[in-house]
Amino acid sequence: MIHLKTFNEHFGIKSNTTEHLNILMENDLEAFIDPYHIANNLDNMIAKKMYVRSKSFLEILNRTFIIPNDRNNGLNFLSHLGEANEYHLGYSYNNKGKGIGPTKAEIIFDSLRANKLVKAGITVTNEAHNVLLLVKGIGQDNMSDTLANVCRDILAEFTFQQCLKYGIDVEETKIEYYEHSSKKWVTKKVMLPHYKGKCIILVPQFLTSGQRIYTNHYNWFISSNYLSKDILEGNINTDGNDSFINELKDGTKKAIIKNINSHYRKPKHKLIEYVKSYSGFLIDFQDYVKSHYPSIDIEKLIQLYGKAS
């Protein structure tokens, strides 16, 4: 297996555990800034700042450009979302795709515009984790890059503090980010570490996750917590399908979640139907994610290093 140099190794950090995700220097680590981990850690100042910033960004994007379908100005607003290469996160270059295709701005605008909840101005789509869950076309990579661009100054300050802690040299660097007070993209100079002439920005490890398809997790959550209950109580007409319920010898009936999920699962663009059927499910699922799908730990990190080599 090829040895891949990490940030900690290159800059002489001896600690086995650091607040920041220990990224690779020459490769992208298949890890992502996860909006669920942001929303579930609002007692942390960095997560709180990122949540407020991303919500402000999505509110302006949806209200000013998506709902009135102002595509030209919307694409201009979104054109600042470039590849956030300084984070060394996401799919490797070979997996990002090549050739002519829609830009990141076009993908995000058209995906939001096609979503019924967004067009109706439903406020849940002003939160990044709900957009990731409910909007077809916006996946982990796009959302992570969006957060990385919008919150670049917040994460640059975190990086600077980590460099101070570990005695890492930094250089003055100009960055761009979304400023929610002015509702504009602005630039400023910050102090960041560099590698081979390019700046590096770190992310708190607790805000990251590996590849994760929340559509699948959400379908299972709905099947096991809502649909199964409704089927057992006779609130859903199953047309006599007896594969959803197992009756025990004592007469107790138990739902067969696997079969219910297989039959009723929905693709991402149809998950909004559950918003209408089950009020409060988004908050419940957010809590479910917190208890069932943790951020990257050292064991997962080792797996990701192996995947990149």
Tell me the per-residue pLDDT of 69-90, one tens digit each, with 9 for 90 and over.
999 999 999 999 988 999 999 9
108 in the same domain as 128: yes
The number of folded domains in the chain is 2
**Which residue carries 């001896």 as its tokens?**
14
Mark whether 72 and 136 lie in a shared domain.
yes
| C-beta of residue 202 within 8 angstroms of C-beta of residue 8 | no
| Residue 287, in any domain of the structure | no
Return the pLDDT at 120. Answer: 83
For strands 32-33 and 245-247, give the pairing. Answer: unpaired
Q: What is the pLDDT of residue 99?
A: 41
Query: Which of the pair, 260 or 277, is modelled with greater confidence?
Result: 260
- pLDDT tens column, 200-230: 999 999 999 998 889 999 999 999 999 999 9
Least confident of 100-104, 231-235, 287-291: 100-104
Contacts of 18 (CB under 8 A, 6+ apart): 8, 162, 166, 205
285 assigned to some structural domain: no
Distance of alpha carbon 130 from alpha carbon 153, whole angstroms? 23
Residues 124-181: tens digit of each pLDDT:
899 999 999 999 999 999 999 999 999 999 999 999 999 999 999 999 999 999 999 9
237 and 147 in a common domain? no
Q: Are 90 and 172 in the same domain?
A: yes
The amino acid occupying position 10 is: H
pTM: 0.92
**Pair of tokens at residue 100:** 């002519």
Predicted local distance difference test score (pLDDT) of residue 100: 45
Q: Are residues 49 and 90 in the same domain?
A: yes
Residue range(s) defining the domain that contains residue 253? 215-278
102 pLDDT more than 70: no
Sequence length of the chain is: 309
For range 270-284, the mean pLDDT: 85
Residues 120 and 262 in one domain: no
pLDDT for residue 49 is more than 60: yes
266 in the same domain as 160? no
Q: Is residue 205 a contact partner of residue 15, using CB atoms and an 8 Å limit?
A: no
Residue 93: is its pLDDT beyond 60? no
Tell me if 140 is assigned to some domain. yes
219 and 195 belong to one structural domain: no
Residue 284 is assigned to a structural domain of this protein? no
Q: What is the pLDDT of residue 274?
A: 85
Same domain, 26 and 169: yes
Together in a domain, 269 and 298: no
Task: Report the candidate in 83, 99, 87, 97 with the shortest Cα–Cα distance to residue 27.
Answer: 87
- The residue type of 308 is A
Examine the domain organization and report whether 12 and 155 are in the same domain: yes
The verdict on 206 and 242 lying in the same domain is no
Measured from the Cβ of residue 91, the count of other Cβ atoms closer than 10 Å reads: 14
H helix runs in the chain, sequence order: 7-10, 35-39, 45-60, 71-78, 93-96, 104-113, 116-119, 128-134, 140-150, 152-166, 214-222, 228-232, 257-264, 272-277, 281-292, 298-308
Cα gap 6→250, rounded to integer Å? 58
- Band of the pLDDT at 95, cuts 50, 70, 90? very low
Q: What is the pLDDT of residues 230-268, one digit of tens each?
A: 988 888 888 777 788 888 888 788 989 999 999 999 999
- Which has the closest alpha carbon to 58: 111, 125, 9? 125
Rounded CA gap, 30 and 82, in Å?
18
For residue 31, the tally of other CB atoms under 10 A from its CB is 27
How confident is the model over 12-36, as pLDDT tens digits? 999 888 999 999 999 999 999 999 9
User: Considering the domain boundaries, does residue 84 fall inside one?
Assistant: yes
In a domain, 185, yes or no: yes
Q: Identify residue 191 by its one-letter amino acid code.
A: M
Residue 7 buriedness (CB in 10 A; 0-12 / 13-18 / 19+): buried
